[in-house]
Amino acid sequence: MTPETLLIASLLSPLAGGLLIVAAGRSPGLRDALMVLSGVATAVFTLMLTAQVIDGARPALALHELMPGLTIGFAVEPLGMIFAAVAGTLWPITAVYSIGYMRGNHEAHQTRFHLCFAIAIASALALAYADGLLSMFLAYEVLTLSTYPLVTHAGTKAAVKAGRTYLGILLATSIGFQLTAIIAVFVLSGTVAFTPGGVLPDGLSPGLLALLLGLFVYGIGKVALMPLHAWLPAAMVAPTPVSALLHAVAVVKGGAFAVVKVITYTLGTDRLAAAGANDWLVWVAAASIVIASSIALTQDHLKRRLAYSTISQLAYVTLAAAIMAPLSIVGAAMHIAAHAVGKITLFFAAGAIHTAAHKDYVSQLDGIGRRMPWTMGAFTLATLSMIGLPPAVGFTSKWFILEGALSSQYWVAVAALAASTLLNAAYFLPIVWRAFFRAPVAAKSVGAAGAHGDDHHGPHGEAPLPMVLAIMTTAGLTLLLFLYPDPVLALAEALANAVTQGGVR
């Protein structure tokens, strides 16, 4: 298949899957089978396209030109291919997990749930392949709207309130800030096309460049940079497969990708660095890393602890892009993939614990590793990735970010990386300790766990098999990408070579 054909197939396969899901809605078994098959098809087409992009292919598809310089279409390049490969590969795994979770928890409206999930994946792929700012903005908004019903899936007052926060922050920032920045770029340069090295004219003041950078970074609210992060912890009321979608597959990865894309393909790293317009973002991202990690340390609710961990880990990507060194750009691109496979494993594990043991709080997890060894073993490997320790891929991406910070002498970035590594260990390792090295407690009537209603639910083992299989698969990817990072690294280095002078040094 030609690269252009694979591009079209990659985009259309999740949409076709969504139609099949609706058509088979009255037959749950057929619906779920079609969902998994469409996910596998999406993964296959996307990975085939990835191989061709690594070999140098750059397929493009023009859809419509509103006026000269203002186009809607698709154009594949290395950074977008990393994001697309992440979303396309993790969708079928999440689909398998969702079957076990939704059935195990007797969730209602499963057909609507899976349809919105398919649309979200299609919009994430469209975002990854966008040929310019306008195409990116449209895909970004569809991604927001398609995930809103997932956040509010439970229909409770808490879910509706969380949905308002989710939709309010993401739409307000994208329309108020991102769209303003896109219009400004078009006025200044006459184009919104993505171009390696940026499209802005020379001679712009450092203040204007810093303002444009700020409008984009905070207009891309999905990156959850503090203080515009409240939507992310609020959205934890959603079912765990949605949390996985938000944190690993599409939403926050779409934000992280968009920030790196705008910096490298619209504003230009050389232009921003020469003007010093990036310095403020280094400080803000460093602060976001440390503050979010510190808040995570105080959270007893497992999914909220993981949510604040995500805010911190996303700030790693923003920090790496803000440093603007060739090695840090490589690290930013790699961390999109590294965080995806690690964090989805952690959320899968949290959902498995909820389904099998009906426990949601860290203080309730004493001895759970003895009853759920596969789940907590995968959780432990993903924890190493979040901390940045081998043999997990998080070590590789963080190493590149640290090398970039050292080469550019951004000591505040080095300090933030060191502090967050210690904080990550402080809020993750106690979970592992509790799970494997503390005796299980049958029931508690007082204390932190008792306050959360930790009644005895009887003996339990692992979650349903589809959930365990998904957890083990994503944990395996965390290890595999550490042992064999070559495909992601090749794309990341191609990105750095395209947008910086002198390539990767």
Q: What is the DSSP string of 214-241?
A: HHHHHH-GGG--TTTTTHHHHGGGS-HH
Tokens of 440: 């299980």
Tokens of 125: 């792929």
Calpha distance 6→21 (Å, rounded): 22
For 438-461, the DSSP string reads S---S--SSHHHHHTT--------
Calpha distance 88→86 (Å, rounded): 6
For 167-221, the DSSP string reads HHHHHHHIIIIIHHHHHHHHHHHS--B--TT--PPTT--HHHHHHHHHHHHHH-G
* Backbone dihedral angles phi then psi of residue 271, each to the nearest 5 degrees: -65, -45
β 60-67/70-75 pair status:
antiparallel
Beta bridge partners of 67: 70
Contact 320, 404 (CB under 8 A): yes
State the pLDDT at residue 458: 55
For 159-201, how does the pLDDT look when each residue is reduced to its tens digit (9 = 90+)?
888 888 888 999 999 999 999 999 999 999 999 999 998 899 9
State the pLDDT at residue 447: 43
Calpha distance 170→413 (Å, rounded): 27
One-letter amino acid identity for 1?
Answer: M
Calpha distance 461→245 (Å, rounded): 26
Contact 60, 74 (CB under 8 A): yes
Contact 102, 242 (CB under 8 A): no
Tokens of 42: 């999406």
Indicate if the pLDDT at residue 10 is higher than 50.
Answer: yes
Reported confidence tier of residue 442, pLDDT bands at 50, 70, 90: low
Indicate if the pLDDT at residue 151 is higher than 90.
Answer: no
State the pLDDT at residue 65: 84
Contact 257, 196 (CB under 8 A): no
Nearest to 224 by CA among 311, 136, 285, 317: 311
User: Dihedral, CA atoms, 135, 87, 237, 95, nearest 10 degrees?
Assistant: 130
Tokens of 455: 């009644």
State the pLDDT at residue 441: 72
Q: Mean pLDDT, to the nearest integer, of 444-449?
A: 42
State the pLDDT at residue 262: 95
Calpha distance 391→480 (Å, rounded): 9
Give the rounded percent of residues in the chain with a pLDDT score beyond 90: 64
For 393-428, how does the pLDDT look when each residue is reduced to its tens digit (9 = 90+)?
999 999 999 999 999 899 999 999 999 999 999 999
The total number of residues shown for the chain amounts to 505
CA-to-CA separations, 435 to 149, 428, 430, 467, in angstroms, rounded: 34, 11, 8, 19
Which of 152-156, 227-231, 253-257 bottoms out in mean pLDDT, i.e. has the lowest?
152-156
Reported confidence tier of residue 355, pLDDT bands at 50, 70, 90: confident
Calpha distance 337→87 (Å, rounded): 9
SS (HEC) of 369-427: HHHCHHHHHHHHHHHHHHHCCCCCHHHHHHHHHHHHHHHHCCHHHHHHHHHHHHHHHHH
Which of 66-75, 233-242, 383-392 bottoms out in mean pLDDT, i.e. has the lowest?
233-242
Mean pLDDT of the chain: 88
Burial 228-255 (b: 16+ CB within 10 A, else e): bbbbbbbbbbbbbbbbbbbbbbbbbbbb
Indicate if the pLDDT at residue 69 is higher than 90.
Answer: no
Instruction: Give the position of tokens 């927001």.
Output: 144
Calpha distance 98→101 (Å, rounded): 5
How far is Cα of residue 416 from the mean position of the Cα atoms in its chain?
A: 21
Reported confidence tier of residue 231, pLDDT bands at 50, 70, 90: confident
Indicate if the pLDDT at residue 104 is higher than 70.
Answer: no
Tokens of 445: 């009537």
For 286-340, how does the pLDDT look when each residue is reduced to its tens digit (9 = 90+)?
999 999 999 999 999 998 999 899 999 999 999 999 998 999 999 999 999 999 9
Task: Find the DSSP H helices in 245-372.
Answer: 251-262, 269-275, 279-298, 302-323, 326-357, 368-371
Beta bridge partners of 71: 65
Q: Mean pLDDT, to the nearest integer, of 449-475?
A: 73
Calpha distance 500→199 (Å, rounded): 14
